[in-house]
């Protein structure tokens, strides 16, 4: 039995470097095994193995929240203003457009939580996920005195990694003033989050 | 005055049911981009979509 010791091992000898893979130890060893696309002289890292297992380099996950309370018009689908982030691992969430546009194609689990209120005796509060073509309404509530109700909608969706996006909207029916709560405390305000389940 | 209030002032026969997300025929939307509320869809069977001039005239 022989032992082969090497810092890099290229898998594949195709003339197009992006058809080859390289597994390698980083220039400054840190206990990880890196996997890259490309030839051994210049691989582009796509993932690594460390003591906890495999970690993909690009694995979008985000959690955004509304830092301020706002008051949408009644009977109007209104995009919830998720203007702050707790984390955004691949910089795919835009806090100015409140939109998640993942750059890795695959299946994502998305959740939008609305903490809202409407000062009326009988009303309906909706929260939806909107992809530019239609509202996917995951939940609605018909209760008396919607005083700071919390509702969530979830979806498992495919994103193409370039143009597909998702946003969260709310809609209040009834009378009085509708309120979407966001006080800067992410665990109690309205939140919007998602994570890559399976890349394709 | 919101767009919803202007529309229901013009057409007093409209109710919340006409704007219901699942069964209504009128959809209003606000993309939180500074452009305000707008009519996303108008599929009411008898009432015509109001013009901007009509909406602007509602006090």
Of residues A148 and A173, more confidence is placed in A173
pTM for the full model?
0.86
Distance CA A99, CA B57 (A): 35
Predicted-assembly ipTM surpassing the 0.95 threshold: no
Taking CB atoms and an 8 Å limit, are A97 and B33 in contact across chains? yes
Give residue B5's region: left, alpha or beta (phi > 0; psi -120 to 50).
Answer: alpha
pLDDT above 70 covers a percentage of chain A that reads 92
Distance CA A194, CA A99 (A): 11
Interface of B with A in 7-46 (CB under 8 A): 16, 19-22, 27-33, 37, 40
H or E, element range at A59: none
The predicted-structure confidence for A20-49, as pLDDT tens digits, reads as follows 999 999 999 999 999 999 999 999 999 999
Residue of B nearest to A122 (CA): B16
- For chain A, the average pLDDT equals 89
Query: What angle (nearest 5°) sits at the alpha carbon of residue A111, between those of residues A199 and A129?
Result: 95
Please check the confidence at residue A144 and state whether its pLDDT lies above 70.
Answer: no
A14 DSSP 8-state letter: -
What tokens were used for A128?
């939806």
Q: How close does chain A come to B44, measured CA to CA in Å?
A: 15
SS (H, E, C) B21-35: CCCCCEEEEECCCCC
Residue of B nearest to A127 (CA): B21
Collapsing DSSP to helix, strand or coil, A196 comes out as: strand
Number of cross-chain residue pairs from A and B with Cβ atoms under 8 Å apart = 52
Distance CA A15, CA B58 (A): 69
Ranges A109-113, A155-159, A187-191, B19-23: which has the least confidence = A187-191
């Amino acid at each position: 039995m022989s032992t082969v010791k090497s810092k890099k091992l290229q898998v594949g000898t195709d003339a197009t470097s992006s058809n080859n893979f390289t597994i390698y130890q980083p220039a400054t060893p840190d206990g990880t095994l890196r996997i890259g696309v490309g030839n051994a002289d210049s691989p582009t890292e796509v993932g690594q193995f460390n003591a906890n297992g495999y970690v993909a380099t690009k694995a979008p996950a985000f959690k955004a929240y509304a830092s301020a309370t706002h008051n949408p018009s009644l009977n109007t689908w209104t995009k919830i203003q998720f203007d702050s982030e707790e984390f955004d691992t691949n910089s795919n969430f835009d806090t100015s457009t409140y939109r998640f546009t993942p750059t890795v194609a695959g299946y994502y689990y998305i959740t939008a939580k609305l903490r809202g209120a409407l000062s009326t005796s009988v009303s309906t509060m909706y929260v939806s996920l909107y992809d530019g073509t239609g509202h996917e309404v995951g939940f609605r509530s018909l209760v008396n005195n919607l005083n700071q109700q919390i509702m969530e909608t979830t979806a498992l969706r495919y994103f193409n990694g370039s143009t597909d996006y998702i946003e969260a909207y709310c809609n209040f029916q009834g009378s009085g003033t509708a309120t979407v709560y966001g006080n800067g405390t992410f665990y109690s305000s309205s939140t919007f989050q998602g994570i890559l389940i399976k890349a394709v | 005055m919101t767009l919803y209030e202007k529309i229901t002032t013009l057409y007093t026969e409209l109710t919340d049911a006409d704007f219901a997300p699942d069964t209504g025929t009128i959809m209003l939307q606000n993309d939180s981009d500074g452009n305000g509320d707008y009519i996303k869809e108008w599929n009411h069977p008898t009432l015509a979509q109001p013009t901007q001039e009509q909406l602007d005239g509602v006090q």
